[in-house]
Amino acid sequence: MFKEFFLKELGSGLRRPMVYIFLFIMTLMVWGAVVSDNVVIGGSIGNVYKNAPHIISMYCGILTIFGLLIATAFFNNAALRDYNYNFSEILFSTPINKFGYYFGRFFGALILSTIPLLGIFIGFLLGAAMGPAIGWIDADRIGDFYLASFINNYFLFIVPNMFFAGAITFAMANKWKSTVISFVGTLIIIVGYLISGTLLSDIDNETIAALTDTFGIRAYALDSKYFTPIEKNTLSVGFNGLLFLNRIIWLAIGTVIILGSYFSFSFISKNKRVKKNKEKANDVQIGKILVAPQITILFKSSTIFKQFLSFFSINFYSIVKSTTFKILFLFSVIILIATLAGGFEYFGLQSYPVTYKMIDVIGGITVIFVIIILIFFSGELIWRDRGSNMNEVIDATPHSSFTSLVAKTISLICVTSLLNLFFIIASIFYQFINGYNNFEVGVYLQDFLYNALPMYIIWSAILIFLQVIINNKYIGYFVSIILLFLFDIIMLIFDLQSNMINLGATPSYTYSDMNGFGAALEATNWFNLYWILFGLLFLGFSGLIWVRGFSNGFKNRIKSAKKHLTPTYAVGLLIISVLWLATASFVFYNTKILNTYKGTDELEEGQAKYEKAYKKFQDIEQPKITTAKYYIDIFPEERKLITKTALILTNKSKQNIDSLHYTIDKDWNMKLHIKNAKLVFEDKESGYLIYQLNKTLAPNEKMAIVVEASYISKGFENEVTNTDVAQNGTFINNFSILPSIGYNEAYELSDKNTRKKYNLKPKDRMPELKVDCGKDCNKNYLSNGSADWVDVESFISTTKDQLAIAPGSLVKEWEKDGRKYYHYKSDHASQNFFNFMSARYEVARKKWNGIDIEVYYDKAHPYNIDMMLSAVEKSLKYYTKNFGPYYHQQARILEFPRYSTFAQAFPGTMPYSESFGFIVNLEDEADNNVIDAVIAHEMAHQWWAHQEVSANVQGATMLTESFSEYSSLMVMKNSLKDDIKMKDFLKYDFERYLKGRSSEVEKELPLYQVENQMHIHYGKGSVILYALQDYIGEEKVNNALKSFLDEFRYKEPPYPTSLDFLKHLDTQVPDSLKYLITDWFKEITLYDYRLKEATYKTLANGKYEVSMDVEAYKLKADTIGNETKVKFDDWVDIGVYSDNDEKKLVFQKRVKFNATEMNFTFEVDSIPAKAAIDPRRMLIERVITDNVKKVTKI
């Protein structure tokens, strides 16, 4: 019996086209992603092949989410077919067996629903074969296929996910017999997935997040988190790890659900529940009207309005009262709660729930629900009359179709707006209960008006139009979804950027507490108007072609459209068209003529051209900047900035120089004034200029040039390109307003695949590290050869209500013509790396040893200012004591708008984004924290980057970023004095390194050859230097740093390399630990330790003897992640905790690890709870959970 139903289900599914259509779509999607360079899903970048087993697994996981819809369709169909065709009563009266009937259909549908997903594999196979053949991608982007990755993915992702989704859908369909409710079941799964994702924000919850993910995606992601490119390319997903556990859990849950459903399933149809008659028995009829009342019938404009209101309320309530809406609303609330429950975590700290954070949450959650509501209910409303057979009555009443359509549209807009407003209220409530009392209702409402409402209007109108013109609900849904989701992809493929042709797109803006809605607001509102008029126009057309009565067929619809086109209607349409065209022209004028923008392809082409034409000039000698005077006038309201820079150039080479080469930036309207020289070459497109000097510049000879540059904002742009010049919070640096001297290598394309597209050879990220580095060491990586140590003065002006700041001591401050002027002069020659800022600042000051510590902040963010002042002070104390003097008179922290999230160190002056340090809640944080750490890091740059700066070769950033990170950790360590807390903080650095190397695009390098890779110079650098000071002593590391700095402080080229530092370090490291320099700095070393068993026994002397069985390996990795086991003879810590939380480390000992299997025995004073290898986490291990074990008593 099972077999019959199974085969019947399968056969009937295979005879219908649905399964093939889905299969085709899946194949096409995956094929497209494999053969296209523009589409990147699952991280097939750099050295990871397009068809790597890891990528296949990611696709299988992610695409099964889409596969849910397929599963729902098949399982729902299997469950309800007999019922819907009223065949069930006939069928159930025959002697069929329940088991066969129930599970035959279920497993039939299960097999059917997995078939379309086989398209993933077909897509990969076809794409890998065809991609290189048709020349869309390179053959070296394709790797080998492994049979196991197909089979395992099928059984680990596709089958379990379809089974689980099927169990829920099938059970719900059998229970409630409603397609809508079955889809709600699908929705529950997706929401469950999203909720389990919110657990991910904290790395401590990763495992829970992985196991609660119904799809297994996060479990696999966690399993493969630290995969190197080579592992991604060769390892097929296996039946082990968290993923396997996850699969077992969800298969079990699915089985329970389906069995529960099976046992409650019965062939005997239940009586439909009859609602009890709650009517009161004696419903008194008051005043029975026997004569027809007199009525007045009026048709005037107020009637239209009343008709509109009546339509509106009927439509509005029909949405609000519908089960679908209630369920969607409930889910959105659940997601909101789940999102907010985690708060705004940042490195273990919480941010204040400032309004823009809440706005981001609202936007993120509402958008998906609004899209579902708009798509679903646009169809529902248009088909409502027909669906409930009311259309003939309604259509025959004397109303205008347009009234009804407008009412439908507005009810959609109102429902979505109410959802949004509800979220706003919930957000304010959240702020309230979190004690954040700065309720900016105005900001919420403005954001709603600028961002949400226009979108709701536009999409309501467009989706209504689609449903009307397509005149088939489900095709209408299909086209709506395609339009909403595929439009962006199409824009991407054709490299189109204009918001004018991307349906409903407007320039994005970022709300900042400092700068409000910023420069994008004007553009956003013009685009809103443009699209709203467009929507109205479409609504107008909808009114014409709206099917009233039975005018089916294209001809009849045209005929009735003509009838609807009354003169008033025509005039209305005409007026809207004219307004729309006028707005379109204005927007076009502003975004395409006043301002211009380039597509990605166009930009890449320009870069390639530049390289091909001017690379030959890379090594020509040019004079370097030795003195700079900046004259900068900032006009914040107009977003205008005018600069003039007087530079003294010196020929520091040993040759005569006869021509000057510059690359100028057109966006900054640069003009060069050079006396005694004439322009002999000008490339207007790329901005390459060559001046011929009338008289050659001899070695050590100086000359003066003047550079004018300005940024003048005109009208509005398609997307704001320059957020540096702001109404409040201007922040520019000198590289923006100066030309590049000579050929600028930074303009070159870097990605090797992109370079190949333009016939360029792969390029090295950085020049190779060599003992004898020659010319390479004459350039440092900050100024890249344009300057060495420079004397700088700045004259900067701004409006009266703002403060303008540049590095250096304030020499003079005055007012003239209602503007403020400042003259700053640097206290010491510095790198030519300067920032210029202007904003309405509050200032907090403190003095330490004659140095002015200042924090410039926005008055909305007064929370952490005292902590920041003291963080600067603590840093100054430690660094001056350990590394040498501070050469500036001041140390300034300056807040800037959150268009970027970083902090940066200029000489004595450190801009710090508003989005983290200033709004993190430190009220209950007595300990040092990441905000202090960032400040300490930037302060450390005043030594590491501003006193010594490294040559532009491999390893450069180790001498600046790694050292600064180390210095900052030392400040923290000396103030915390708690190893376990330090370990808790360092876990972010370990994570950064291990995750970073997993997505390395080119090649991983040892620390001393780092090529500006953040995961190496920040992550690995801090971990290694921290461990080093633990192994050889803090003082020794600091000695090495200090003597290195003494050698290179403010020294003219050649600049130092990492080898120079290693020389200084070498003298500080005892011979017994010299291996650390090789293992940690010069090679990529990973450790793999495991505590196999830990026991203790009580000794006669009242002490406890602990025994640990250890398994140990040491691995060396090459640049793409191939690992080889090596012999070892290393010092490693072992230790014992007295508590299960691993907080109290009561014993530790450094022992020699030199064999794979080892045993250690030692005595401790208190009862051991847990034993651990490397308890304070000094060494780089991928899996550390197996390093700790409970100690058992024997």
Partner 1 sequence: MATLKICNLSKTYPNGVKALDNINIEISNGMFGLLGPNGAGKSSLMRTLATLQEADSGTASLDDIDILKNPTELRKLLGYLPQEFGVYPKITAQQLLDHIAILKGITNGNERKELVNYLLQKVNLYNERSKSVKGFSGGMKQRVGIAQALIGNPKLIIVDEPTAGLDPGERNRFHNLLADVSEDVIIILSTHIVEDVTELCSNMAIMNLGKMVYQGSPQNVINDLKGKVWQKIIERNEINEYKTNFTVISDKMVAGKPLIHVLSETNPDNGFESVIPDLEDVFFTKIN
Q: Which residues bind partner 1 (CB under 8 A)?
A: 275, 279, 283, 285, 288-289, 292-299, 302-303, 306-307, 309-311, 314, 317-318, 321, 384, 388-390, 392-400, 548-551, 553, 556, 559-560, 563
CA dist 85 → 79, 81, 90, 332 (Å): 12, 6, 10, 35
| Nearest distance in Å: CB 409, partner 1 | 18
CB atoms within 10 A of CB 46: 15
| Nearest distance in Å: CB 387, partner 1 | 8
3-class secondary-structure state, position 335: helix
| Nearest distance in Å: CB 399, partner 1 | 5
Q: Which is nearer to partner 1, 559 or 678 (CB)?
A: 559
| Nearest distance in Å: CB 295, partner 1 | 5
3-class secondary-structure state, position 1191: coil
Amino acid in position 96: I
Cα angle for residues 1118, 1119, 1120 (degrees, 5° grid): 95
Q: Which is nearer to partner 1, 380 or 788 (CB)?
A: 380
Quote the CA–CA distance of 945 and 833 in Å, as a whole number: 10
| Nearest distance in Å: CB 560, partner 1 | 7
| Nearest distance in Å: CB 563, partner 1 | 7
Q: Which is nearer to partner 1, 318 or 799 (CB)?
A: 318
Q: Which is nearer to partner 1, 563 or 845 (CB)?
A: 563
Residues counted in the chain: 1194
Quote the CA–CA distance of 236 and 245 in Å, as a whole number: 17
- Which residues are bridge partners to 657 per DSSP? 697
Q: Which is nearer to partner 1, 399 or 888 (CB)?
A: 399
| Nearest distance in Å: CB 169, partner 1 | 24
Quote the CA–CA distance of 1172 and 1134 in Å, as a whole number: 6
Which of 814, 917, 937, 827 has the alpha carbon at shortest distance from 872? 937
| Nearest distance in Å: CB 543, partner 1 | 14
Structure tokens at 272: 């439909």
Q: Which is nearer to partner 1, 95 or 293 (CB)?
A: 293
Which of 879, 823, 885, 876 has the alpha carbon at shortest distance from 854? 876
| Nearest distance in Å: CB 549, partner 1 | 3
Residues in contact with 435: Cβ distance below 8 Å, sequence separation at least 6, in sequence order: none
Q: State residue 130 phi and psi, 5-degree precision.
A: -85, -35
| Nearest distance in Å: CB 307, partner 1 | 6
Q: Which is nearer to partner 1, 560 or 915 (CB)?
A: 560
| Nearest distance in Å: CB 923, partner 1 | 50
Structure tokens at 611: 């390289």
Q: Which is nearer to partner 1, 378 or 404 (CB)?
A: 404
Return the residue matching tokens 């390459």. Answer: 688
Q: Which is nearer to partner 1, 399 or 639 (CB)?
A: 399
Contact (CB, 8 A) for 657 and 693: yes
Residues in contact with 38: Cβ distance below 8 Å, sequence separation at least 6, in sequence order: 492, 493
| Nearest distance in Å: CB 83, partner 1 | 20
Q: Which is nearer to partner 1, 379 or 1175 (CB)?
A: 379
Q: Which is nearer to partner 1, 93 or 397 (CB)?
A: 397
Q: Which is nearer to partner 1, 40 or 390 (CB)?
A: 390
Give the helix/strand (H/E) hosting 625. Answer: strand 624-635
CA dist 69 → 196, 250, 593 (Å): 20, 18, 45
Q: Which is nearer to partner 1, 278 or 616 (CB)?
A: 278
900-912 burial: b if 16+ Cβ within 10 Å, else e? eeebbbbbbbbbb
CA dist 439 → 42, 424, 895 (Å): 40, 11, 22
3-class secondary-structure state, position 808: coil
| Nearest distance in Å: CB 377, partner 1 | 14
| Nearest distance in Å: CB 185, partner 1 | 22
Which of 756, 730, 538 has the alpha carbon at shortest distance from 639? 730
Task: Give the sign of the dihedral formed by CA 1051, CA 1054, CA 1059, CA 1064.
Answer: negative
Task: Give the sign of the dihedral formed by CA 472, CA 474, CA 477, CA 483.
Answer: negative
Q: Which is nearer to partner 1, 256 or 558 (CB)?
A: 558
Which of 853, 823, 855, 816 has the alpha carbon at shortest distance from 839? 855
Q: Which is nearer to partner 1, 247 or 399 (CB)?
A: 399
Q: For the CA atoms of 37, 40, 43, 46, what is the dihedral angle to 10 degrees? A: 20
Strands 787-799 and 624-635: parallel
Quote the CA–CA distance of 936 and 1022 in Å, as a whole number: 13
| Nearest distance in Å: CB 558, partner 1 | 11
Contact (CB, 8 A) for 920 and 864: yes
Structure tokens at 497: 């950027």
| Nearest distance in Å: CB 473, partner 1 | 16
| Nearest distance in Å: CB 555, partner 1 | 9
| Nearest distance in Å: CB 299, partner 1 | 5
Strands 835-839 and 730-733: antiparallel
Q: Which is nearer to partner 1, 558 or 679 (CB)?
A: 558
Contact (CB, 8 A) for 50 and 136: no
Q: Which is nearer to partner 1, 404 or 431 (CB)?
A: 404
| H-type alpha helices, 546-616 | 554-564, 567-588, 600-614
Q: Which is nearer to partner 1, 379 or 742 (CB)?
A: 379
Quote the CA–CA distance of 46 and 1003 in Å, as a whole number: 9
CB atoms within 10 A of CB 922: 20
Contact (CB, 8 A) for 1015 and 993: yes
